[in-house]
Structure formats: structure tokens, C-alpha cells
Copies of this chain bind each other. A is one copy, B any other.
Amino acid sequence: MTTVLTNIRPIDDQLSEFHALIAGTCLARTDLVPAARDADVVLDGRGKIATPGFVNAHTHLPMVLLRGLAEDVPLRTWLETIVWPIERRMSPADVYQCTLLGLAESIRAGVTCVCDMYFATHEIARAVEEAGLRAVLSYGIVADSLDNGGREELAKTAELLEQWNGAAGGRIRVAVAPHSVYTVGQDVWEKAIQLADDHGALIHTHLCETRAEVEEWKQKTGETPIATLNRIGAFSVPLLAAHCVHVDPSDIEILAQHNVRVAHCPKSNAKLGSGIAPVAAMLDAGIPVAIGTDGAASNNRLDVLEETRFACFLQRAAAEEPTALPARDALRLAIENGRTAVGLSDVPFADHSPADVVLIGTDSVHAVPSDDPAATLMYASASTDVADVVVDGTLLMRDGELLTIDEEKAKQDVKSLRRRITD
């Protein structure tokens, strides 16, 4: 199939419009308007804004099953009385079904890469392989020592690395995911670091999400969670830390020194009352802060654009600073920093770059009039304006229609499962 991209207008005003063909999984830029009549598919970017897609740097896709189920309760109640009991009842097949719905929502929101941590990760990988996105997938390791479950937990990740790292033509990579410093013992952490190092894999973990978690850790150990991870060598490998809400200046210095990537999840942190992460300070220190939605049980959307708008406005409101995170800088969190966070190092939209292209319409009544593309996206667009999504050269959505997922079936399956599991 020949796919032609014409009049593609990148979010950066300084980048000019371009045309391209899709050659395999890559873009082939061309100076001339390609001959549309010879193409099977023509994506015309006129009146649209083009991005290489948003990265959801921290999520738990299958949790769409729990959307709206446990509202307005404290974090611990939420986990113990609702989330965990339901998760214990989810079969691998359930995880697969729920992942498909989460991926459908992600594609519709212009997300081209997800960084997920959950269980039954083989099933998540299978869904991602079919749906066509990029993903960094992991199994959340919880074990207080190697002898008490740690070896078995690590073995699951080793198996995932074996089977799925680099799968789907390189679209899928596997990360090593000790759940957090307080749910995983030091000996397990050390083996996890070793495992990541052996495979050149990313470590993906939760870090400093709530004030209570950090205070308890400091009382117990006399150091911050970040100081502990630093001491045991966790930052000697590439590490993506979700949340980082309660970090002090010395923590920020450690994160910056070791090139730790942060997945900022502002809506989840707000909804669960965890607080406001010092994003401006982390960015100033040079930390690549990306955007994560967390799971749909604590958000309740997998909408990276809405998440980024919230991140931007939250920082400005808290600092009373109208020039904090200008539109293009805010979008950088969701795009460039997201790519850095998950290890996508190529330059988007260059000749021979992987063909990841998202076209977002600007003609909705809420986006008119539109001049500056970054301001339009950041302040006015809705994820429902996303029209076309190409990942790795394959069309996943065209004119608002999903092409790789049977959306109606995905919705019905999860609705049925929800009825069954909450009965």
C-alpha cells in the first residue's frame, strides 16, 4: 500500500510544511507534492497540525476496567477496598480485552507510544502488537525480598525480556519495573538493576508519589527514597520515575545528575490529593519531565493532551507565574520529553525517520480561529480533534475511524466484564 502525506504542518512554526511518502516504516520526504492519483491513501494535512504523536510515559492501560468505580476516597481505601480486590479477579484474557480499550482511547487521543506497568504483561504486549502503537511494557514487581517472592517476580520480567523486547519490528520494548522503593526489598532492587543493565532495558518505577510515603520512608531509613535508590545504584541505568511529587532540592539534584527521566502525572496526583510536583524546578535542573496519565481509575482519561494542559495550568496557578511553561514548552513534555523518557531517540519528521505522524484538526468550533499551532493545541484543541494517526508507517486511525481495533467490540467486551466483575 502506498501512503502519501501532503501539506504536513508541524507544530513548530519554524519548521516548514512538508510532503512525504511512507516507505515501509519510514518517512521519505519529498520537495514536490507527491502524485496522489498513484497512492492508495492520501493524508492531506491542510487545516491540520502535525505532531509525531504524544507519549503516555506512565500508565496502567487495563485499569480502564475500573474507570469511575472508586471515586472520592483516600488513596489507601481506594487501593485496598476496590482496586486490588478487582485486579485479583482479572484473568489474563481480561487484561487483554481491557488493554485493547485503553489502546483505542490512546490512539483516539493521538498517543503513539505508551509506557505501561501492570501484570499479565504478555497479554498487554499481544494487544499492542495488534493495535500498532509503540510501547515500553513492564510487569510491576512487588516483593520484599528475593526469598519471599522476589525471584519469581524477577523471572517473569526475564521471560518478558526474552519474548517481547524488540518485538513487533521493534515497536515493543520491555522495561524492568520494581513497583517502588517501599514495596520492593533492596536485594530484589539490586537484581532488577542488574537485569536492566544486562538487557540495556529501562527501569520504570513509582517514586515519591505521596507525602505520607516519603515521610514514612524517611522515618524508617533516615534518607529520602531518591537518596536510597541512588545509594543502591538504581540510577546507574536509565530510569523512568513516575510521579516525583514530593521531592526536595537535594532529590532534584540527584535526579538531574543521573539523567533520571520523570513521568509527571498531574491529574492523578490531583484527583488522589497527592499534591503538585515541582515541575518547573525539575525542568530548570535539566530533568526530562514527560507526561503520564496514570491509570483510568485515577484520572479518568488516557488523554495526554488534556493532561499536558492541566500540567501547564497547574504550574502557573501554583507559582502565580503567567509565563511558566509557554505553549510549545508545555507540549515538549508530551512529545520530545516523552520520547526521551522512553528512549525514542530519532528526530521526528526528518527524512528516513520512523513514520509516526498524528494530524489534528483545527476547525472545531472550540479551536477557531487558529494561527499559532502550539497555542491552538495547548490551549484550545480537544483530543477529539485528532483525525489521523500513523505509527511506524501503518495507519491506525483515518478521519476519526480506528483501523486496527474493533472499537465497538472493545467497548462491549469491557462493559460485560465490568458487569461480571462487580457483581
Residues of A within 8 A of B (CB): 64-65, 67-69, 71-75, 78, 101, 104-105, 108-109, 211, 266-267, 269-276, 296, 299-303, 306, 310, 313-314, 316-324, 326-327, 363, 365-372, 375-376, 379-380, 382-384, 407, 410-411, 414-415, 418, 422
Contacts and interface: CB of A to CB of B under 8 A. Distances in A.
A318 B318 contact: yes
A273 B320 contact: yes
A407 B365 contact: yes
Contacts of A269: 317
A300 B365 contact: no
A379 B310 contact: no
Given A269-B317, A273-B320, A300 B71 contact: no
Given A270-B316, A322-B271, A363-B411, A327 B368 contact: no
Given A74-B322, A300-B380, A322-B75, A276 B317 contact: yes
Nearest to A419: B369
B415 A369 contact: yes
A120 to B, nearest CB: 19
A270 B266 CA distance: 14
Contact of A273 (B69, B276, B321, B407): B321
Nearest to A376: B68
Contacts of A65: 369
Q: How many copies does the complex hold?
A: 2
A68 to B, nearest CB: 4
Contacts of A327: 71-72
Contacts of A300: 375, 379-380
B272 A322 contact: yes
Given A105-B365, A313-B310, A365-B105, A323 B370 contact: no
B271 A379 contact: yes
Contacts of A273: 316-317, 319-324
Nearest to A78: B322
A365 B104 contact: yes
Q: Which 5 A-B pairs have the closest CB atoms?
A: A273-B322, A270-B317, A270-B313, A72-B326, A300-B379
Given A365-B104, A369-B418, A379 B322 contact: no
A397 B267 CA distance: 31
Contact of A108 (B211, B296, B366, B375): B366
Contacts of A414: 368-369
A365 B108 contact: yes
Contacts of A418: 369, 371
Contacts of A411: 363, 365, 368
Which among A73, A274, A317 has the greatest number of chain B C-beta atoms within 10 A?
A: A317
Nearest to A66: B369
Contacts of A296: 380
A306 B384 CA distance: 14
Given A74-B322, A273-B321, A369 B67 contact: yes
B322 A73 contact: yes
Contacts of A407: 365
Contacts of A267: 313
Contacts of A369: 64-65, 67-68, 414-415, 418
A269 B313 CA distance: 9
28 contacts: A64-B369, A67-B368, A67-B369, A68-B371, A68-B375, A68-B379, A68-B380, A69-B371, A71-B326, A71-B327, A73-B323, A74-B322, A75-B322, A105-B366, A109-B366, A273-B321, A273-B323, A274-B322, A300-B375, A300-B379, A300-B380, A302-B366, A303-B366, A318-B318, A369-B415, A382-B382, A382-B383, A382-B384
